[in-house]
Structure 1
Amino acid sequence: MSLNEPVGRVVKIFITGKDPRSLRTVELDNWTGIAITGQPEFFKKALEDEVLSRSCVYLLIRSRADDDLPEIYCGESDDFSQRYTNSKFPIEFDTFLIFTSKDDNLTRAHVKWLERELWSILKGNSGKALVANTNKPTGSNLPRGDVATMQTYLSNMIYVLEALGYDLFSVQERTSASPSSARPLEEAITDGHDLSLNLYSTLPRRPEDRAFLQYVNGAYTLMSGSKINARITDSLPTNVRKLRQQLIDDGELVGRGEFLELMRDIPFSKPSPASALVKGRSSTGYMDWVRETDNKPLGTILGIAASGTLSDDPAQ
């Protein structure tokens, strides 16, 4: 085996009951951190774990429909076992993930720093999730040595989250969490994969106005300059609607008369929220995004059986 050949990492998942959906603890090779995750019905049982009496950073995740964005709340606590014994949760959720350490080296200042950094990353990936926090976390000022240690901890958090199937981060953030990140980014992206697609979708009743989506090995990016429907319908998913308004408020979605223009690239985890944003209504992205060269639907290219049919009428 070549020294430059990636060997991967070991993620250990311990299931605490007979049901594979039960409370799980997740560990990563050569890392003192630990994650505890499960569905809401296992939350009280999670609080019984001794490690949660330490400082923790956590995510509460509420999934949505396929054409909407998940909602995420980021938080921290110096003793998570006491965090929600009497207080209400900030959002309804279907999954919780709590990150702490197997030793006592993770302090309150550390988790406050992690909370702010994680919040900032997720806010920057606004096409992948809606961050539910009302206010920006205050964070903390750490010595340079502690910052370096927490950056490593954060990279391991990202690695675990992605390994568990939570596509919340950009390609660069994802690959920087890998021990093979010393390779050029282009090599890391294309290692073993080479599927790249340029896709477009038209606005309702305006077939000459198009939005453009780039697909590279499972990563979707709605491209700057894409035209977005100026009108929305009641079927537009809740969190995509919030994203749309946020982009308008931030000056990243600008009115151009009959349409809006997107002013920056936005990464998405799935194609349907991207096409819902473009069309201003509920959308099946695997059918509504088509390849530029031959107008073949994305779902057909990927071999995905999507519900519904692609209309022959470009005005639809």
Structure 2
Amino acid sequence: MTQGRSIRLFLVDGTATGLITAEIMNWTGHVIIGPRTKLAELVKRPECNRTGIYFLIGPDPDNSLRPLVYIGETDDVGKRLKQHNRTEEQGGKDFWERVCLVTSKDQNLTKAHVKYLESQLISRARDVGRCSMVNGTAHEYIGLPESDQADMAFFVEQIRTVLPVLGLDFLRDTTRPSSPAATPISAEPERSPIFTLELRRHGIRAQAQEIDGEFFVLKGSQARSEWRGPEGGYQNLFRQLCDDGVLRPEHGQMVFTDDQAFSSPSAAAAVVSGRTANGRIAWVVADSGQSYAAWQDQRVTEPAIETQSG
């Protein structure tokens, strides 16, 4: 069983859309995130005078499924953010809408530390594949003593723990259904039974599995060759997956070339069906024919029944 963690969030101006700080118990790191519209307030804060790592996040106009992310390091975060706030013609960056800073409360992060962190985080973001990177190729930085590298490895894991809580998923590992089982020292992710969706008239059959709250359509599943539903909705998602090569034509149908995560069973069902669909009904447990909705409801009610009987 995995151990719980305590993360302290503070709404600086009392709103969820303003600056937010985050801290983890027994970690010297300090995280602050906010929209670009709050940059004037952000650069006045003491954290911006420190050495640290920062993330610039914005939409990717060429890929609606992933954000654009730039990862940087600096001795003076505030100064660097002012530079990035300029236009592209002036040497800045136009794409970003949010910024996240990671500094140290004890101010013991050095230039060497953050260069190492930058290298590790860029590599991790590329490996995870949840975002499009603005950075060029990450330079491997090994100019740290072995003990410092161990400290920074711990620092990276804390960053990867806190960022998803702030709505930034691009460093979070994707546990695909085809991934090997977890090692004994790590927690095995929670996996659902296999679900199926069949369009018998079109000879289409797809399989899916829910892992750690993400709904995956499995590699080799079939989908309709074209979007047949109304304009809008999940049509753009269908086209994006075709453009990315996740859906590839084969024998008059589309086939998933890899396990693909979806935000919901309905999003997955729509892509497979080529039209809007209620995924909670369309997907059924392969062995029993129970709908996803019924399976989920059973999981919710079973603990209550056990409690009453106990």
| TM-score, normalised by the number of residues in structure 1 | 0.69
In the alignment, is residue 87 of structure 1 matched against residue 82 of structure 2?
no
Indicate yes or no: 2:115 matched with 1:116: no
Q: Which amino acid aligns with 2:101?
A: I
Name the SS of the counterpart of 1:149 in structure 2.
helix
| Runs of at least 5 residues in structure 1 that lack an aligned partner in the other structure | 124-128, 174-180, 304-316
1:245 maps to what in 2?
243
Aligned match of 1:291: 285
1:139-150 superposed matches below 5 A: 139-143=139-143, 145=146, 146-150=148-152
Give distance in 2, aligned partners of 1:71 and 1:49: 26
Distance 1:281 1:245, change over 3 A: farther
Structure 1 residues 289 and 227: alpha-carbon distance in aligned structure 2, compared to 1, 3 A threshold: same
- 1:69 partnered with 2:65: yes
Match of 2:101 among 88, 98, 101: 98
Whole-angstrom CA distance in 2 between matches of 1:253 and 1:71: 20
Aligned residues: 271
Q: What is the Cα deviation at residue 213 of structure 1?
A: 0.9
> Residue 113 and residue 135 in structure 1: after superposition, are their counterparts in 2 closer, same or farther (change >3 A)?
closer
CA spacing shift, 1:135–1:12, aligned 2, 3 Å = closer
Query: What residue is the counterpart of 2:306 in the other structure?
Result: none
8 Å CA contact 2:242–2:248 kept in 1: the answer is no
2:222–2:254 CA contact under 8 A, matched in 1: yes
Normalized against structure 2, the TM-score is what? 0.70
Q: 1:271 to 1:104 in 2, by over 3 A?
A: farther
Check conservation: 2:197, 2:205, Cα contact below 8 A.
Answer: yes
Counting aligned pairs with the same residue, the percent is 20
1:69 match: secondary structure: coil
Residues of 2 paired with 1:271 and 1:232: CA distance? Answer: 17
Query: Alpha carbons of 1:164 and 1:259: their partners in 2 closer, same or farther (altered >3 Å)?
Result: same
CA gap 1:183/1:82 in 2 versus in 1, 3 angstroms: same
Question: In the superposition, relative to structure 1, how do residues 42 and 133 fare at CA in structure 2: closer, same or farther (>3 Å)?
Answer: same
For the aligned residues, what is the CA RMSD?
3.6
Query: Match of 1:49?
Result: 45
- Residues 254 and 240 of structure 1, relative CA distance in 2, 3 Å threshold: closer
Distance 1:57 1:229 in 2: 42
Q: Deviation per CA, 1:164-213, whole angstroms, max 9, x where unpaired?
A: 4555533669xxxxxxx974533xx35xxxx723212345962x312211
Secondary structure at the counterpart of residue 151 of structure 1: helix
| Counterpart mapping for 1:263-302 below 5 A | 263-280=257-274, 285-302=279-296
Question: Are 1:35 and 2:31 matched, yes or no?
Answer: yes
Q: Is the 8 A contact 2:207 2:218 kept in 1?
A: yes
Query: Aligned letter for 2:123?
Result: E
Question: What amino acid does structure 2 have at the position aligned with 1:56?
Answer: I
